[in-house]
Amino acid sequence: MAESAIKSEKSVSQLRCIGCGRTALPDRFRCEHCRDLLEIIYPGWKESGPGGLDSASLKQLWRDRRSSLDPSDQSGVWRFREILPDISQQQVITIREGNTPVYELPHCAKSAGVRHLYAKHQGMNPTGSFKDTGMTVAASFARQAGYRWVACASTGNTSASMAAYAARGGLHSLVLMPDGKISWSKLSQSLDYGAITCQLKTDFDGCVRVLNEVVERMPVYLLNSVNPYRVEGQKTAAFELLEQLGWEPADHIIVPGGNLANSSAIGKALREMKQLGFISRLPKVSVIQAEGANPLVRTIRETGGEKLVPVHADTMATAIRIGNPASWKKALRVIRETEGTVEQVSEIEIALAKAEIGAEGIGCEPASAVTLAGLKKLVKQGFVRPNESIVLVLTGHLMKDADFTLKFHRGDLFTGTPYEQESHALKPQQRAPLVLEPSVEAVIQLLRSAEK
Ligand code: F0G
């Protein structure tokens, strides 16, 4: 690793083990003593605040950067650079990620039984998922540290994002994806962006196992979400959300859970915002998993959070088809600290929620829709009250998994599955394409009958 990278790292941030608290070198992923994950800390903040500024000055500075023409200022990640590791401006790889919208979802609110409901749409990032916010930081670090190769195991979104940032930054990239049960659109992205893409005959957890050994033996920088720089970038989504809410915390933030880095990142951001005086209370962060990929839910329910319960994961929400989540301890800490909770939702509940979000003109991929499905359950349980403010984090764009959407509307998503019978209840949400003769009369007749 280049000497300059080590030096600049030391001056602003440090890597610290979440287990034993020992510090680690800037390009490590696990503690050499206890093998726990690492997180980035900023020792200088205690004395003088990020960048030597107080929270009021930072709020102003970050807002002002939105009108700047500088690429780093135009990035919704790097405009928050005071709360990020120090990466030299020349090394920053940005595709103008972040700056994603918050939408109100009145119909989904009604269906969940709450007064107001908002969605922070991270699928509006350059490659269509929240992964870009973390990737810009970790890929830039890789370049600054002198790596030529980056790699990840992925259910599709991380790989799409990594391939894009590597291409923009002049790095080579290697992708390991499961062979089958992934979305073709995500696979096509990493091909187009020039990654060497391998489909391994295993699932996501199997891909991670192989890659972990590859990076031990080759000079390849790992860009999976155990990478602490990715977590730092993903943190900015929560800073940006709070900025969009006028720095008034929502009561609840609801996120999907896969490898559990995103919930960890959002929680870390909230913790830092409270410490730095940006906000005075923490929103409750709740994590929703698919029933078929529910290791965190089981870990909490069956062991009280003492020991990870890995599962053999299966869900049509392929982005979160993960049974052995790396960041479970970090996510657990966030749930405890913010007094959030975990919930699991069925395949049918996911499909219904996705269609309801889509019907508001705000498409998302199935993994994102678990948030609405989970919210409905949390309202029924009384954990979320109807007058509270709630933000769903939508993690991926509708176009990420067009196959799922098409099959849903054609009514064959669940054909041949154990949910076939139950899926008949989804008929009112389905709008299959209508094939007509090319006649004006036929179209007008259709319009008339649709009006009735
Ligand atoms: N939503 C989407 C759209 C995702 O792609 C992922 C993870 C998650 C939610 C879960 O986030 O892992 O931080 O808890 N996708 C990974 C990938 C694993 O390889 O693209 P998490």
pLDDT per 10-residue tile (average), the chain, 452 residues = 42 91 95 96 93 96 97 98 96 98 98 98 98 98 98 97 98 96 95 98 96 96 97 98 98 98 98 97 98 98 98 97 98 98 98 98 97 98 98 98 97 97 97 94 94 80
Report pLDDT for 180.
Answer: 87
Task: Output the residue whose Cα is nearest ligand 1's atom 4.
Answer: 319
Nearest CA owner, ligand 1 atom 12: 259
The residue type at 108 = C
State the distance from the centre of ligand 1 to the C-alpha of 253, rounded, in angstroms.
16
Ligand 1 probe mutation, 187, 200, 259, 329, most atoms within 8 A of CB:
259
- Tell me which amino acid residue 72 is: S
Question: What number does the ligand 1 atom closest to the CA of 322 have?
Answer: 18
Atom of ligand 1 nearest to the CA of 260: 14
Tell the residue nearest (CA) to atom 10 of ligand 1. 258
- The answer for residues whose C-beta is within 8 angstroms of residue 449's C-beta and 6 or more apart is none
3-class state of residue 241 by DSSP: helix
8 A C-beta contact, residue 113 and residue 35: no
3-state secondary structure of 388: coil
CB under 8 Å to 423, separation ≥6 — which residues?
348, 351, 413, 414
pTM of the model: 0.96
Task: Report the residue among 207, 235, 262, 404 best suited for mutation to probe ligand 1: largest number of ligand atoms under 8 A from its CB.
Answer: 262
Distance CA 9, CA 137 (A): 13
Q: How far is the CA of 335 from the centre of ligand 1 (A)?
A: 18
Is the CB of 133 inside a 6 Å radius of any atom of ligand 1?
no
Q: Which of 131, 370, 404 to mutate to test the pocket of ligand 1 (most atoms within 8 A of CB)?
A: 131
Using the mean position of ligand 1's atoms as its centre, give its distance from the Cα of residue 260 in Å: 8
List the residue whose alpha carbon is closest to atom 11 of ligand 1.
Answer: 258
Distance from the alpha carbon of residue 157 to the mean position of ligand 1, in angstroms: 7
CA distances (Å), origin 21, targets 34, 47, 86, 263, 306: 10, 20, 21, 21, 19
Spatial CA neighbour of 229 closest among 449, 46, 14: 14
236 lines ligand 1 (CB under 6 A): no
For residue 249 and ligand 1, the question of a CB distance below 6 A is answered with no
- Ligand 1: centre distance to CA 403 (Å): 18
Handedness of CA 44, 45, 49, 50 (dihedral sign): positive
- Ligand 1 contacts CB of residue 257 (under 6 A): yes
Q: Please compute, for residue 156, the number of CA atoms within 13 A of its CA located in the half-sphere on the CB side.
A: 27
One-letter amino acid for residue 256 of the chain: P
Q: Is the CB of 258 under 6 A from ligand 1?
A: yes
By the 10 Å C-beta count (0-12 exposed, 13-18 middle, 19+ buried), 36 is classed as: middle
Beta-strand (E) ranges in 354-430?
390-394
DSSP one-letter code for 436: -
Place of tokens 């700047």: 68
User: In the beta sheet, which residues pair with residue 93?
Assistant: none
